[in-house]
Amino acid sequence: MIATPHVDWFALSPTLALLGAGAVSLLGAVLVPKRARRPFGATVCAFGFAGAIVAGALLYGFSAHGHGVIGDAIQRDRLAALAMMIVAGAGFLSVWVSATEPMPDDHIAEYYALLAWAGAGMAFLTSASTLMTLFLGLEWFSIALYILCAIDVQLVGSLEAGLKYLIIGSFGSAMLLFGSALVYGATGALRFGEIAHAVAAQHLTHDALLVSGLALVIGGLGFKASAAPFHMWTPDVYEGAPTPVTAFMSAATKTVALVLMLRVLVTAFPQEARLWTVAVAVLACASLAVGNLAALVQRGVKRMLAYSSISHAGFMLIAVAANNALGGRALLYYLIPYSAMSVGSFAVVAARERELNAPVTFENLAGFGWERPLLGISLSVFMLGFAGFPLTGGFVGKFYVFAAAYRHGWIWLVIVGVAATAVSLYYYLGIVRALFMRPSEELQLAPATVAGGSPPPERLLQTGVVLALAVTVGSFFAVQPLIEGAKHAAGAIF
């Protein structure tokens, strides 16, 4: 008889909600008539994500004092709960974007099942508190995403994207696993807290095994956060994957990877802080440099957004590198508007893609802003938010990140961030310019019109965009409650 630990089902409730939603939508593939599978899957999946948000909020409310549950394999605290809410929110928005994606009906049930399961894996991962659960959660959502990237076999590049992501992602996972093994070898502990104790008790601070293990763990998580120099898969995968999948990945994967990086580094390696703060700061600078400079020369909007997401990984890594409570707060706040802007901008790209039936470039955005004012204004607001203009949460996020770096005593990092922001304006404002300042006569490509005019506006997608817009702008005005929430969440580890 194996002694089973007590299971805190409540701590798992967001994960379970999404697992259940995935199972139900998969059942739809068998039980629901083919015509109704798409709305059925989307509805179930949306309810799953909404349920996960609610469960996450309840978990947040009832987990003021963080503690390990299920044999200390996972940590029930507000950090995990807030990250779950962000992930589930990104998933929820992505469902609205997916609902009208022109995808073959054959695998639509699997699509929504995998989307929900990827979310479930992420929700599980945010509360990981041992190296085992960390790897388990990471692989869980990664495998779901590999398939999602390749699911639309008729889309040019989708299969390629899935394969690239699989190979490079597996390499990243292998790095993480190898690093975990080295850390375990050095300390004999798997739980984050115990690793820290072992390092302190056995004076392992400069142990070669431990330090290499730490480096590999950072690298492995860096792959998922698409931080340079582990970013090379990002542009190809973002470009090739179906746009709603890209939207979900760009927001949710980054959220879990960065929150996990913060949790691992702060709770398992506090003694190595002198090392990893510098390492993460270097990653941040590399991401800012690579992301921004490469984004400058992109013509494809999805590729540009991919590089922009690399540069945002850089901004958020600044918050991790600060290694203080303000940094934790900055990261968690930043993720909220960032996720909304990211999903929202990919949603608008998806809308244009469907209109033109071609990849969206800067050139064929010309005049889009005047044709579809709602989407045009929304995309402009998302771009201004990415660029850190006020009246969007992106501004407050950047402000907090820089403030955290300054409080850590790194003015140079603030200057790097400011310089990166200045460079980024060129391509973010380039989108605004393409949307509104070029006449649509310049458009090279005629919209794929249906009989009797342009295609009707897609209400579902527009709802998703409006929700993302509300979060982007709302997070600027409601800084106090959000930052209060982020403060309690970060307080779980600082």
Partner 1 sequence: MHWLTTALILLPVGGALAIWILPLQPFAVGSTALLVALAEVGLWIDSVARFDFSKPGLQLDQRTSWFSDLHVSYHVGLYGFSLWLVGMTVVVMAAAIAYAFWAGRDRPRAYYGLMLLLTGALVGVFAAQDLLLFYVFWEAMLIPLYVLVGVWGGAGRLRATLVFVIYTMAGSLLMLASIIVLGISQGTFDLVGSGTNGSDWIFLGFVAAFAVKAPLFPLHAWLPEAYRESSPEVAAVLSGVVSKAAAYGFLRIAISKFPGPTSDFRIPILVLAGCGLIYGSLLAFRAPDVRGVIAYSSLAQLGLITFGLFAVNDLGLNGAVLQMVNHGLISATLFLLAGGIERRAATGELARLGGMARGRPALATVLMTTGIIALAVPGSTAFAGEFAILAGVFRTGWAWAVVGGIAIVLAAMYMLRLISAVLHVSPGPAVSDAALDLRPAELGFLVPLVACLLVLSAWPAAITDRSFGSSPSSAISGVLR
Can you give the binding site for partner 1, defined by CB under 8 A? 329, 370, 384, 389-391, 395-396, 399-400, 402-403, 406-407, 411, 414-415, 418-419, 421-422, 425-426, 429, 432-433, 436-437, 479-480, 483, 487
Reading the block at residue 185, the tokens are: 């070898």
Per DSSP, 442 falls in state G
CA-to-CA separations, 104 to 10, 41, 99, 149, in angstroms, rounded: 37, 14, 12, 14
Distance between CA 436 and CA 381 in Å, rounded? 13
Q: By C-beta, is 414 or 460 nearer to partner 1? A: 414
Distance between CA 307 and CA 313 in Å, rounded? 10
Secondary structure (3-state) at 67: strand
In the complex, minimum distance from the CB of residue 401 to partner 1, in angstroms, rounded to a whole number: 10
Q: What is the CA radius of gyration of the chain?
A: 22
In the complex, minimum distance from the CB of residue 323 to partner 1, in angstroms, rounded to a whole number: 16
Distance between CA 322 and CA 417 in Å, rounded? 13
Q: By C-beta, is 186 or 326 nearer to partner 1? A: 326
Q: By C-beta, is 92 or 395 nearer to partner 1? A: 395
CA-to-CA separations, 392 to 128, 203, 336, in angstroms, rounded: 32, 46, 11
Phi, psi of 443 (to 5 degrees): -60, 125
Q: By C-beta, is 10 or 406 nearer to partner 1? A: 406
Phi, psi of 168 (to 5 degrees): -70, -40
CA-to-CA separations, 175 to 140, 178, 201, in angstroms, rounded: 16, 5, 27
In the complex, minimum distance from the CB of residue 465 to partner 1, in angstroms, rounded to a whole number: 16
Q: By C-beta, is 107 or 407 nearer to partner 1? A: 407
Q: By C-beta, is 41 or 485 nearer to partner 1? A: 485
In the complex, minimum distance from the CB of residue 186 to partner 1, in angstroms, rounded to a whole number: 37
In the complex, minimum distance from the CB of residue 329 to partner 1, in angstroms, rounded to a whole number: 7
Q: By C-beta, is 171 or 436 nearer to partner 1? A: 436
Integer distance in angstroms from the first to the last C-alpha of the chain?
A: 39
DSSP result, 343-398: HHHHHHHHHHHHHHTS--BSGGGTTHHHHSHHHHHHHHHHHHHHTT-TTSHHHHHH
Q: By C-beta, is 334 or 402 nearer to partner 1? A: 402
Q: By C-beta, is 9 or 426 nearer to partner 1? A: 426
In the complex, minimum distance from the CB of residue 476 to partner 1, in angstroms, rounded to a whole number: 9
In the complex, minimum distance from the CB of residue 109 to partner 1, in angstroms, rounded to a whole number: 40
Reading the block at residue 62, the tokens are: 């009832």
In the complex, minimum distance from the CB of residue 176 to partner 1, in angstroms, rounded to a whole number: 34
Secondary structure (3-state) at 68: strand
In the complex, minimum distance from the CB of residue 56 to partner 1, in angstroms, rounded to a whole number: 23
Instruction: Answer whether 376's CB lies under 8 Å from 435's CB.
Output: yes
